[in-house]
Amino acid sequence: MHNIIDLRSDTVTKPTEEMRICMAQADVGDDIYGEDPTINHLQEYIADIFQKEAALFVPTGVMSNQIALAIHTKKGDEIIVESQSHLFHYETSAPSIISGVQMYCVPSQYGEIPLESISEAIRPPDYYFPTTSLVCLEQTHNRHGGTVLSLEYLQSVSEMLKEKEIKFHCDGARIWNACAETGISPHEYARNFDTVSVCLSKGLGSPAGSVLLGNKKHIELARKWRKILGGGMRQSGILAAGGLYALQHHRKLLNNDHHNARLFAEMIANSGLCTIANSNQKVDTNIVIIECLQGIKPLDFIDECKKRHLIISMGRSNCVRAVFHFQVSTDQTIQAAQIAVEALQVLAQ
Ligand SMILES: Cc1ncc(COP(=O)(O)O)c(C=O)c1O
Whether residue 133 is found in the same domain as residue 265: no
- Taking only the tens place, the pLDDT of each residue in 246-289 is 999 999 999 999 999 999 999 999 999 999 999 999 999 999 99
Ligand 1 mutation target, pool 13, 62, 325, most atoms within 8 A of CB: 62
The least confident of 10-19, 196-205, 310-319, 338-347 is 310-319
Would you give the end-to-end CA distance of the chain in angstroms?
Answer: 29
62 Cα: distance to centroid of ligand 1 (angstroms): 6
Output the domain CATH number for residue 271: 3.90.1150.10
Query: According to the model, what pLDDT value does residue 316 have?
Result: 85
Reply yes or no on whether the pLDDT at 200 is more than 70.
Answer: yes
Whether residue 127 is found in the same domain as residue 264: no
What is the number of domains present in the chain?
2
201 Cα: distance to centroid of ligand 1 (angstroms): 9
What number is the average pLDDT over the span 232-255? 98
Whether residue 206 is found in the same domain as residue 273: no
The size of the chain, in residues, is: 349
Residue with CA nearest ligand 1 atom 6: 61
- For residue 210, which atom of ligand 1 is closest to its CA? 10
Task: State the DSSP string of 55-69.
Answer: EEEES-HHHHHHHHH
What number is the average pLDDT over the span 126-138? 98
The span from the CA of 131 to the CA of 126, in Å, is 9
Q: How confident is the model at residue 239 (pLDDT cuts 50, 70, 90)?
A: very high
Query: According to the model, what pLDDT value does residue 317 have?
Result: 81
What number is the average pLDDT over the span 321-344? 98
CA 74 from centre of chain: 25
**Reported pTM:** 0.97
Reply yes or no on whether the pLDDT at 1 is more than 70.
Answer: no
Q: Where in the sequence is the domain holding 299, given as residue range(s)?
A: 5-12+253-348
Whether residue 201 is found in the same domain as residue 296: no
